[in-house]
Structure 1
Amino acid sequence: MRTPIARRAMLGAGATLAIATPAFAFPDQPVRIVVPWNAGGATDVISRALASAMAPLLGQPVVVDNRPGANGAVGAQFVASARPDGHTLFVASAETHSVNPLVYSRLAYDPVAGFEPVTVFANGPFALVVRSGLGADTLDAFVTLARSRPGQLTYASWGIGSTSQLAAASVIQHAGLDLLHVPFTGAAPAYTALVAAQVDAMFMNAGPAEALARDGRVKILGIGSAQRVPLLPAVPTLRELGMPLDAANWFALLGPARTPPAAVARIAATSSEALRTPSVLEVFRAQGIVPVGLSPEETRTFITADREHLGPIVRSLNIRLD
């Protein structure tokens, strides 16, 4: 799902930012990181780990504020309207800043003009998994089975227009498959349906995929990252298996538009340093998340490229969510 520009932007674990931390009085109050999803999900978990590591480096509390709703739009609108002083940040993702602008004709926030890029801090590769008992334990076997039963195999996602659907659509288009899409209202019910053999396949986050595969409840066919991930070292990438595709979500810190450059630089540098702490690395590894650490300008370029890349996929599926 990533463009060549985007793939180069994903720097991997241990990446650092060559940004000098200026000496100025920021922050002078607690910093709030708005997560536009419910507590307990992967985005929330990694954001809290990052916030905890950033707090001592900034000398101020860093609190996570969950504001779910409208596919991330509730939290995005809140931050876009916040005072642009660096003390309110947003955890953006492909859903909020690449997909939403493509599937909604009207948004309550402007994903470009409403935000100041700070850093892409993580890459969350998706794993392509199939239900236990499907009889396809490799990607080649799954493709062969799907081609022999056009329109009969099903794949789940955590919603119409979600990154899980778009990842599957990329594989379907590349391999010339005919699969039936079964959207759910979130990741948890989609996972439950897969384990219960109500659907045949899906792209899911690497952390849950590893846990379910360890218990024998699903079979992982491939990982959608440019390189193998530490959590699943034996699982080949889609590229290794002959599919030149990436399937992943990304996570970025953004501030409201007109956030002072000095504050942006301080947050970006602090985030980069926090990503190297053992506590953050352990949480990320358990979730199958890869630390990144892009500069503000690289972040702006990356988000633009990702949105442009996903446009043709969304248009081919004729997705509108108004």
Structure 2
Amino acid sequence: MIPYQKALAALACAAGLLTGNTAAAAPDAYPQQPVRLIVPYAPGGGTDSMARALARKLSEIWRQKVIVENRPGASESIAASAVARAPADGYTLLFASDSTFQLNPLLYNHLSYDPDKDLVPITRFAASPFALFVNADTPVKTFQDFLSYARQHKGKTFYGSYGVSNSTNLGLSWLSKQFDLDMVHIPFAGQGPAMIALLGGEIQILFGNIIPSSIGFIDQGKVRVLVVSGEQRLPNAPDVPTFRELGHDNLDTGYTLGLAAPAGVDPAIQRQIAEAVKQAVADPELIKYAAETLSIRLFAEPSGQYRDFIADSRRILQQRIEAAGIGKLDQ
């Protein structure tokens, strides 16, 4: 005679076969509940704005809420660790940038997560150049003016970034090294707090995105944009030259965005997430918003290409880190 517990298990299995509600079939129904999108930066910056725009579009595609949750600090490690510890069911995703997979393992002795073991890169879908902002109270009006100003205030020029192991820090650290400016670094939890510090005179220079809030400060004459990275001028800053135009190709810097999940998420669910993002970033309204409002270029790159990009990017960044003289850090 079959024990009571085994009988119940058999009945449950039969019910699953009849209804199609088996573990193997679960990915086909994804998502069946709201999805959390963890953003490593504070509200108000370009990364947060892009995350919220993508979340709205994914909510439409999936007909499920995609809830943005800001977890700023520790150069994306707080957010990355939260996702790494989450259940590997596809309902907690990380809005990852270059720090998550490339910079953090190169710059920190000990991380609270292992980017190669605890997380899986799902898709890379966005790239953005940086604009070089200065406080308008300084006499600086051009990039050459800034170099002269920083040399006159050597060791007393403060620059802001989105964290110690962030592209904004590495880019300005590299700039400081190239021109022997000895600038002082002050990290922040995102563009919003860093821009407030720039407006208040706490810092004199900042790499950031040209987004609606910063455009307002530009129009009010509170900050100036001296130069932008990237291959061409930005649509929302057509009068601002690029580093390449000024003959400084080696100063080009920016960041990319992707989605990651806890390691162990079903590959079928990973593919569904990547396909939904591909559909979202093909939307003409989202493309226009990203380009004209956030200075972000959208595309769709599958997991394999994302992994290749991470590997190639690490090699390039390692060279820049070594040249900038940035040693290993402890969080």
Alignment partner, residue 180 of structure 1: 183
Q: Is 1:77 aligned with 2:81?
A: yes
Cα deviation per residue 1:186-214 (whole Å; 9 max; x = unaligned)? 34443233224443322122225433222
Indicate the residue corresponding to 1:26 in structure 2: 30
1:312 maps to 319
Given candidates 97, 109, 116, the residue that maps to 1:93 is 97
Sort the Cα spacing of 1:44 and 1:173 in 2 relative to 1 into closer, same or farther, 3 A. same
Higher relative contact order (CA 8 A, sep 6+): 1
- Secondary structure at the aligned position of 1:252 is classed as strand
**Please, what is the CA RMSD of the aligned residues?**
2.6
Letter of the aligned partner of 1:298 in structure 2?
Answer: Q
Higher helix share: 2
Structure 1 window deviating more from structure 2 (176-185 vs 146-155): it is 146-155
Over alpha carbons, which structure has the higher Rg? 2
- Which runs of 5 or more residues in structure 2 are unaligned? 1-26
Give the Cα–Cα distance (whole angstroms) in 2 for the partners of residues 192 and 67 of structure 1: 19
Question: Is the CA contact (8 Å cut-off) linking 2:109 and 2:328 kept in structure 1?
Answer: no
Runs of 4+ residues over 6 Å off in structure 1: none
Aligned AA for 1:204? G
Q: Which residue of 2 aligns with 1:269?
A: 275
Number of matched pairs:
299
User: Conserved in 2, the CA contact under 8 Å of 1:46 and 1:283?
Assistant: no
Q: AA paired with 1:99?
A: L
Separation in structure 1 between the aligned mates of residue 177 and residue 309 of structure 2, nearest angstrom: 24
Partner amino acid, structure 1, of 2:257: F
CA deviation digits over 1:96-139, x for unaligned, max 9?
A: 22222223212121111222221112223211122224333222
Please say if residues 128 and 254 of structure 2, whose CA atoms lie closer than 8 Å, have aligned partners that are also in contact.
Answer: yes
Deviation of the 1:45 alpha carbon: 2.1
Question: Which residue of structure 1 lines up, in the alignment, with residue 234 of structure 2?
Answer: 229
CA shift for structure 1 position 84: 2.7
Percent identical across equivalent pairs? 33
Partners of 2:73 and 2:160 in 1: how far apart?
A: 21
Give matches, 1:47-196, under 5 Å: 47-147=51-151, 150-174=154-178, 176-186=179-189, 187-196=191-200
Aligned to 2:7: none
CA distance in 2, matches of 1:307, 1:260: 27
TM-score, normalised on structure 2? 0.80
| Partner amino acid, structure 1, of 2:111 | L
In the superposition, the TM-score normalised over structure 1's length comes to 0.82
> 1:28 aligns to what SS in structure 2?
coil
Q: Equivalent residue for 2:309?
A: 302
2:248 to 231, 240, 243: 243
In structure 2, how many angstroms separate the alpha carbons of the residues matched to 1:133 and 1:27? 51
Q: Distance in 1 between the 2:109 and 2:102 partners?
A: 13
| Aligned-partner SS, 2:301 | coil
- One-letter amino acid of the structure 1 residue matched with residue 177 of structure 2: Q
